Amino acid sequence: MTGTLRVCAPVTFARFHIVPALTTFLARHSEMHLDLVLTDRGIDMLTERIDLGLRLGTLDDSGALTARKISESPRRVLATPTYFRRMGVPAAPADLDAPEAVIYDQRTGGTEWTFRHDDSEVVGNVSGRMRITAAEGVRAAVLADAGLAVASEWMFAPELETGAVRAVLNQWTLSPMTLWAMPCERSRWSNILLRRSPRSCID
């Protein structure tokens, strides 16, 4: 493949899971150039001349027509050990309305979450005085012991591995975070991308 491929992706997801792989990708495709547009907000792919959009969460009707599901990550209730020592560990979803939460103020975030355990389903509402519109800001606030957050494992992958962040209420499940690949139908790359398997769109 030759030419320039413009890809848009969420900032934090790209930082941990895409940018580290770019050296290998460009070595494999020596005649390609890559423009990586990073944003947590939805953008007009046609206006921004995006060839391939990587989106997290639920798609609207227009995006669902051509989108390919790539992968998914569990969502967790998480915070630092320091925060839990200070505020206590929630024992059930109903306990989430008492602690301070860092609320991700995007369509994949919010304050109301449905928790499932066996045949039980419970709605838990997080409350907090801090709303942040970028995942990087949510990460920074959580790592500064400011509160707990409901987030995908993707968002805190390094810290979950090292123990700097701890997940709780693990006996309950939340709807997973889904990653979608969305080729722009008017892109010159569209036929190539649509013919490929879902995972190979970002391999």
Q: Considering the entire predicted model, what is its pTM?
A: 0.81
Q: Is the pLDDT of residue 62 over 60?
A: no
CATH label of the domain that carries residue 128? 3.40.190.10
Q: Does one domain contain both 90 and 127?
A: yes
Torsion sign over Cα 13, 107, 140, 91? negative
Q: Does one domain contain both 88 and 168?
A: yes
Total tally of structural domains belonging to the chain: 2
Tracing tokens 């919010």 back to the chain, one arrives at 110
Q: How many CB atoms lie within 10 A of CB 108?
A: 19
Decide: helix, strand or coil at residue 141: helix
State the Cα torsion 13-101-73-200 to the nearest 10°.
-20
More confident of the two residues 97 and 118: 118
Q: Does one domain contain both 93 and 185?
A: no
Q: Does one domain contain both 61 and 150?
A: no
In sequence order, what are the residues at sequence separation of 6 or more whose Cβ sits closer than 8 angstroms to the Cβ of residue 187? Answer: 50, 51, 52, 193
Can you give the residue range of the structural domain that contains 62?
A: 3-72+178-201
Q: What is the pLDDT of residues 158-183, one digit of tens each?
A: 999 999 999 999 999 999 999 998 88
Q: Does one domain contain both 170 and 187?
A: no
As a whole number of angstroms, the distance between CA 182 and CA 21 comes to 19
Q: Does one domain contain both 28 and 54?
A: yes
Tracing tokens 């947590």 back to the chain, one arrives at 40
Q: What is the pLDDT of residues 105-152, one digit of tens each?
A: 887 788 889 999 988 899 988 888 999 999 999 999 999 999 999 999
Q: Does one domain contain both 37 and 8?
A: yes
Q: Does one domain contain both 90 and 42?
A: no
Q: Does one domain contain both 27 and 63?
A: yes
- Name the pairing type of β-strands 130-132 and 102-104: parallel
